[in-house]
Chains A and B, each alone.
Chain A
């Protein structure tokens, strides 16, 4: 607990402290400026879409990695974690080269909201995969076989047997992916275009406020971002616990 306080709680407390340095009115004013609100909406929206795509794609990847056999599987399994190891600014640069105006595929999504999503999908890929994989490994195939022998089709087996078992893991992966997407800076700063009201996300907005000497404004938006993320994380956590209890019945 002491460790947690020093590593996480203390910096967060300091952030909240600095956000209210100019009084509560100023905090509110800074947090609700039109640019700030629009960046916040965009950030949360893209993060939510990113988390949802991850929920589907991440589960599918985990499934293939656990249930299928194919050559090079262990390499693919290792590659999943690479987005974690790559400095995100390098990821941004690479994605810009691939999906930017001079890209080899003729796809130009750079400086649009879609480009933003692509960058976030790249950096958040491992979360759902790594959350679902161990659960899937533990999952007894006998249950599925029993259901199949009783006449359930593959869709019914997945919906009734596999999915309910995986859901808590998917949700925790989704929560992590969402939180990471909300705070991501390096991967998006190059590809997002940074036009206020269009492609400027909160992290870049905050960076701009810091660079312009508006530390309180930066802290205020950060606190709002954290508060909303905390709310979402708590909600997902509560839902997960509810589901887990529900499963026992």
Chain B
């Protein structure tokens, strides 16, 4: 019996070393969960290119914040694809990702999306703009911004849209208080939120356009509306310091902005960031689109937004959460 075990172990070790010794090298990709299908396709098409032949990939997918913390705690990663900038910043702070990670021509952003409203078939509650969400009798589903990093996009879209409509900072914050009074459930993640909405809870689901497209593909009976003023969601990818020293990881990183890769993202509902590719897809361009960096709307980037809105204790959203429960 023991001999068999040792023999099996030997085979496993041999197999392991054979994989490690493949001529193209190996790349550890650590990513958030939603673009899994897109990355699967991009990797297989990359492996058919000259630079990618024989390259092995180990892929890990999970909630963006969890993935960032796992890498910070020592999980091997050459390339990190996360759902928002602060998760990359966490790794910059730990010295795992170089400070200039966003220095390429696309500022390290590999795909875009926007915050949209998913509504029931036929839009019975006639939801069009942000004002409709706080009408009496409307229930809004959005994840808890403290458990879901991605839900912060929704909150900032709501705030920014008010500012875009000429409201003051105070009025926009008052809108957040009002909006969250209409939220009966705060699921822990965007996917749980979709699950709960599909189950029949709520009139509107605040989520990303790519999730809305995913829901339609999966046959959930919904439609989605893009409000006139909404937030541009930008998802970053970064090479870690270990990845920067691997030719295969560097080649794959570059490949993410190739037209093949960008098309793969677009087919999964993400907005491509390469203009020539974007032309081929007809994503609706909201007239009032704004970014998280907009100083005019008082957003000023994730660092400022996170301390002001999402500090777990003193943040505006912490106060909003307190107000709805009490």
Measuring CB to CB, which residues of chain A are less than 8 angstroms from any residue of chain B? 33-35, 38, 93, 96-97, 100-102, 110-111, 189-190, 193-198, 200, 204, 207-209, 211-214, 217
Contact = CB atoms under 8 A, between A and B. Distances in A.
Contact of B147 (A34, A194, A197): A194
Given A96-B199, A100-B201, A102-B199, A194 B325 contact: no
Given A38-B325, A193-B184, A193-B185, A102 B200 contact: yes
Contacts of A213: 90, 312
B185 A33 contact: no
Contacts of A34: 322
A189 B189 CA distance: 10
Nearest to B315: A212
A63 B100 CA distance: 68
B245 interface: no
Interface of B: 63, 65-66, 90, 144, 146-149, 183-188, 192, 195-196, 199-201, 310, 312-313, 321-322, 324-326
B186 A193 contact: yes
Contacts of B147: 194, 204, 207-208, 211
A194 B185 contact: yes
A214 B90 CA distance: 13
Chain B interface secondary structure, helix, strand, loop or mixed?
Answer: loop
Contact of B201 (A38, A101, A194, A198): A101
15 contacts: A35-B322, A97-B199, A101-B199, A101-B201, A102-B200, A111-B201, A189-B188, A189-B192, A190-B195, A195-B183, A197-B322, A204-B188, A211-B146, A212-B146, A212-B312
4 closest A-B pairs by CB: A197-B325, A102-B200, A101-B200, A208-B146
B195 A110 contact: no
A29 to B, nearest CB: 9
A111 B312 CA distance: 23
Nearest to A200: B325
A100 B186 contact: no
Given A101-B199, A102-B199, A110-B201, A209 B312 contact: yes
Contacts of B195: 93, 96, 190
Contacts of A33: 313
A162 B144 CA distance: 49
B209 to A, nearest CB: 23
B288 to A, nearest CB: 29
A196 B322 contact: yes
Contacts of A101: 199-201
Contacts of A211: 63, 65-66, 146-149
Contacts of A35: 321-322, 325
A195 B325 CA distance: 6
Contact of B144 (A93, A96, A190, A194): A194
